[in-house]
Structure 1
Amino acid sequence: MAISRFLKMKSCITRSKFQAKEAAKEEDGVLATNYNVSMEDLPLPILVDIFSRLPIKTILQIKCVCKSWHSLCSDPYFAKIHLARAPFSIMILEKFCKRIYTNSLVPLFTLNQGDKERLSLLSSCNGLICLHEFSYKQDVISVWNPILGDHLVLPQPKRKSVATRIRGFGYNQSTNQYKVIQILSYKDQAAISSSKLQVEVHTIGTNTWRNIGDLPYVLNQPYYGVFLNGALHWYAHSHDKRTAFMCSFDLGDEQFRQFPGPPTREYDKCRPINSISVGVSGGFLYLCDGFLEPNLDIWIMKKYGVKESWTKEFVIVNSVVSKLQRLYGSLQILNYRENMNKEATEGTELQMLFGSEALLAYNVRSKSIRRPKVFGVQTNYQAIPYIPSLVSIKKAAMNESSQML
């Protein structure tokens, strides 16, 4: 349907442009009877504006029409414009079969690597996904664009004897660089100068990991950094466990900082670490506080970086939700959108994934809970908010610039 609408639009534009030129020539006393007009006569900014509003499936079809359109739709600048207008969706990783799906449940690709014992979907940024593949023999991190099918495998860190590992993946807009960080503790701590966690950074396009020093906090949730506005975010506490707070890691200057969190009550040392979950959904940072059973308070940061903009958007009072929060600790909100609570209709549902098995849908108006069935997908799966894009990780690694500017 999308391609047919596009072809109709193309025909109307061509016809109107032809009629305008004919009218102008008639005024000059010259009648042109066989004047061929095409979409290529449109200025480049207009073509970019039209194409960038089309679904990504239609874009992939357009790339096959001619070389000039293929070049336009493959340009990094066009990928950036299209990404800014692309709608949010959900990406699902079926761990057992190693398949990647979108929420339409159409497989994007299958990882044909049977020797991998574990496969984890760490995070997504600009339509790129960061995957962790772990087996007895090797520990591999790779970055994929499942739409384009291109990927890069990151170099292996030098040290192998790792006891703890926390990761994050994101993008620094000022330098146009993608970065992956690892926060590690080693089994042979005597071999290093500090007993604290070590922070290592890898810039996509290089072949090394850089050690930038000790982690100044203890990170609680999540075990991967959630990316938004050029920074990774966690819930953390001080080494003496006296204070708890949110923190961020700026991918530009590569520094950790305390980050303004919501006005949740402090419960001193008795607070379990799995009562808090931090994430990003719909372009907003959220924090889920499940300490006061059976309540689950969901806070949304409406204006990034502004402490006063934290809003308690949902208060879910349900024993099943509280039980799952205690059991899994990890909670992800998959489909939040702005003003979801205020504009809720009878069918408006907030989808929440606990761990990798328990998917719940909370009806915003009726306050009821149901368990959706993900047809065709095994119970052991992961899901994250995702924006399909045309961003090429290989071009990003080479830091290719636009040919249109």
Structure 2
Amino acid sequence: MKNLKKRKPFPFRFLLNRILSSKRSSFNREEMKKKMKKLKKVESFCWFNLLPEELTLNIFSRLPIKSLMKSKCVCKTWNSSISNPHFINQHLSRSPFIGNPFIIFSTTDFIIDDNPNYPKPKLSIRRNFHFVEDIGGENEEVKPLALDPVLTYLDIVGSVNGLLCFGGTSCNGDLITVYVFNPFTGESTQLPTLSSIPFESKHTLFGFGFDSDRGEYKVLRLIFHSMKECLADCIVEAEVCTLGSNSWRRIGEAPFSPYGSEACVFANGMIHCVANSIDDGDDIGIGYFDVGTEELYFDSLFPEMLPVWDENIDIGVLGGCLSVVNYSSLDFAEVWIYTDFFQKGENKEEAWTRLFQLPLDNVVSLNLMCLLKSGEILFLHNHEELVSRYPFGNDPRELGLHGMSETIHAYVHVGTLVSPIMPPQS
């Protein structure tokens, strides 16, 4: 077993004495002494409560989510302070900078259901979810992710502000269900159910995003309708549902057809996916959905970015910016980043910057995950292993999933206290 280092307790008394003895301290010492006398009457009390609430919350807002959840159980005062909406937003603003994100991954089990109500046995797909904590660090550990059984039949379709969005066909195959879930608080909400897509609809894709101006979370659904192989004869219908509402709204047809990308990614207020133009099936680029304006549009990639084979491209988010990885070469992968998000038109080449080339061997698939605090970039390699590599380093480093023999799907997640339960919309 791995030897775990015993962590030293946080020196609360030392911190308190420093504050009390400081000549520059603006706190009223007499009031604090009176408060200490009252607290000493209690058999056990927390020295941390002697600090001003503003300072206490400032310290709490810098803690990782698991430490914060434990702190809620210490006393009613802490639980109340940490549950305050103002504090939740304060912690949310700092959460991307508190250590490395969690990496959630899933494997798949195929289950045969011999229910006598069915005319013949049905094949169901159930997923096993785990998460990697402290990815790449000294305390890296893989743990199971506790979920409601209904979520194990669905796919993760997005992670925004600590909320996971699950979507897909229900276990009985009759309805399409979507849930939004916070894995650390255990809160979840179900969106209005959808009827199964018709036979001629060959593909459906979900996306999850946040409108920071209105404070609204939205789920996008793209439905690919076609009876023909020609892309020009396709119709991609878009629907959206806002958390707190009781219905899905049709917002029109998308000017692009998603392909290649297993899931959409969210960055800069927009949901993105790799796509082809509806007008020109050979035109490869990025499909966009503006979460605030609910507009859909398509932007082509310029020739230098295009892969040799259409499917050898993936998108992700690095440092909050949309990024593209092209792994069509047998010897290396190229990573590009969108540095000027609002650069459009003929000068769009100026919006993209090639970060680096990574020498890689035996690449069948390569998913761009995230940028680690160490400066390494994390990839999912061939749906088998998580590897990290410095942009200008040597050999890649295998992380998190050692000796996995199953096909895996991985997702980046930042832990927060944000609740998925929104007030009803009128």
Q: Give how far 1:286 is off.
A: 0.9
Q: 1:100 aligns with which of 127, 130, 135?
A: 130
Q: Does the CA-based 8 Å contact 1:247-1:259 persist in structure 2?
A: yes
Match of 1:72 in 2: 81
Q: Does the CA-based 8 Å contact 2:16-2:51 persist in structure 1?
A: no
Residue type at the aligned position of 1:288: V
Residue type at the aligned position of 1:100: H
Q: 2:155 aligns with which of 105, 110, 120?
A: 120
Q: 2:407 aligns with which of 372, 380, 397?
A: 380
Residue type at the aligned position of 1:299: W
Structure 1 residues 205, 223: CA separation in 2 closer, same or farther (over 3 Å shift)? Answer: same
Match of 1:255 in 2: 295
For 2:28 and 2:197, locate their aligned partners in 1 and report how far apart those are by CA, in whole Å: 74
Structure 1 residues 353, 314: CA separation in 2 closer, same or farther (over 3 Å shift)? Answer: same
Q: Supply the RMSD in Å over aligned alpha carbons.
A: 3.8
Q: Does the CA-based 8 Å contact 1:91-1:386 persist in structure 2?
A: yes
Once the two structures are superposed, what CA deviation does each residue of 1:264-317 show, in whole Å capped at 9, x if it has no partner?
5276xx953212211113423210123444332111234544553533222123
Match of 1:311 in 2: 353
Q: Give how far 1:23 is off.
A: 9.3
Q: Give how far 1:254 is off.
A: 0.1
Residue type at the aligned position of 2:420: I
Match of 1:368 in 2: 395
* Identical-pair percentage: 25
Structure 1 residues 111, 46: CA separation in 2 closer, same or farther (over 3 Å shift)? Answer: same
Q: Give how far 1:237 is off.
A: 2.8
Q: 1:53 aligns with which of 51, 62, 70?
A: 62
Tell me the TM-score normalized by structure 2: 0.74
Once the two structures are superposed, what CA deviation does each residue of 1:233-255 show, in whole Å capped at 9, x if it has no partner?
12333222253332321101100
Residue type at the aligned position of 1:255: E
Range with greater deviation from structure 2 (229-238 or 294-303): 294-303
Larger RCO (alpha carbons 8 Å, 6+ apart):
1
Q: Does the CA-based 8 Å contact 1:300-1:311 persist in structure 2?
A: yes
Q: Does the CA-based 8 Å contact 2:104-2:413 persist in structure 1?
A: no
Once the two structures are superposed, what CA deviation does each residue of 1:206-260 show, in whole Å capped at 9, x if it has no partner?
1211111111122234242210121111233322225333232110110013458
- Residue pairs, 1:213-232, within 5 angstroms: 213-232=252-271
Residue type at the aligned position of 1:315: Q
Task: Give the match's secondary structure for 2:261.
Answer: strand
- Residue pairs, 1:206-355, within 5 angstroms: 206-239=245-278, 240-259=280-299, 263-265=302-304, 271-302=308-339, 304-305=341-342, 308=350, 310-321=352-363, 324-325=364-365, 331-337=366-372, 340=375, 349-354=376-381
Once the two structures are superposed, what CA deviation does each residue of 1:332-367 show, in whole Å capped at 9, x if it has no partner?
222325893xxxxxxxx5331146335444454443
Match of 1:90 in 2: 102
Q: Give how far 1:77 is off.
A: 2.2
Range with greater deviation from structure 2 (166-175 or 276-285): 276-285
Task: Give the match's secondary structure for 1:398.
Answer: coil
For 1:90 and 1:51, locate their aligned partners in 2 and report how far apart those are by CA, in whole Å: 19
Q: Does the CA-based 8 Å contact 2:308-2:329 persist in structure 1?
A: no
Match of 2:117 in 1: none
Q: Does the CA-based 8 Å contact 1:221-1:276 persist in structure 2?
A: yes
Q: Does the CA-based 8 Å contact 1:91-1:383 persist in structure 2?
A: yes
For 1:188 and 1:136, locate their aligned partners in 2 and report how far apart those are by CA, in whole Å: 26
Structure 1 residues 109, 351: CA separation in 2 closer, same or farther (over 3 Å shift)? Answer: same
Match of 1:28 in 2: none
For 1:310 and 1:14, locate their aligned partners in 2 and report how far apart those are by CA, in whole Å: 49
Structure 1 residues 41, 181: CA separation in 2 closer, same or farther (over 3 Å shift)? Answer: same
Q: Does the CA-based 8 Å contact 1:284-1:301 persist in structure 2?
A: yes
- 1:200 aligned onto 2:229: no
Residue type at the aligned position of 2:354: K
Match of 2:124 in 1: none
Q: Does the CA-based 8 Å contact 1:289-1:296 persist in structure 2?
A: yes
Gaps of 5+ in 2: 1-5, 40-46, 109-126, 134-140
Number of residue pairs matched by the alignment: 370
Structure 1 residues 50, 33: CA separation in 2 closer, same or farther (over 3 Å shift)? Answer: closer
For 1:101 and 1:51, locate their aligned partners in 2 and report how far apart those are by CA, in whole Å: 23
Q: Does the CA-based 8 Å contact 2:268-2:320 persist in structure 1?
A: no
For 2:92 and 2:227, locate their aligned partners in 1 and report how far apart those are by CA, in whole Å: 44
Match of 1:109 in 2: 146
- Residue pairs, 1:182-193, within 5 angstroms: 182-186=221-225
For 2:103 and 2:29, locate their aligned partners in 1 and report how far apart those are by CA, in whole Å: 52
Q: Does the CA-based 8 Å contact 2:380-2:386 persist in structure 1?
A: yes
For 1:89 and 1:234, locate their aligned partners in 2 and report how far apart those are by CA, in whole Å: 22
Residue type at the aligned position of 1:127: G
For 1:60 and 1:12, locate their aligned partners in 2 and report how far apart those are by CA, in whole Å: 27
- 1:4 aligned onto 2:29: no
Q: Give how far 1:380 is off.
A: 2.9
For 1:370 and 1:21, locate their aligned partners in 2 and report how far apart those are by CA, in whole Å: 49
Residue type at the aligned position of 1:290: Y
Q: Does the CA-based 8 Å contact 1:130-1:142 persist in structure 2?
A: yes
For 1:3 and 1:398, locate their aligned partners in 2 and report how far apart those are by CA, in whole Å: 42
Q: Give how far 1:62 is off.
A: 2.0
Structure 1 residues 4, 370: CA separation in 2 closer, same or farther (over 3 Å shift)? Answer: closer
Structure 1 residues 238, 271: CA separation in 2 closer, same or farther (over 3 Å shift)? Answer: farther
For 1:169 and 1:335, locate their aligned partners in 2 and report how far apart those are by CA, in whole Å: 18
For 1:33 and 1:139, locate their aligned partners in 2 and report how far apart those are by CA, in whole Å: 57
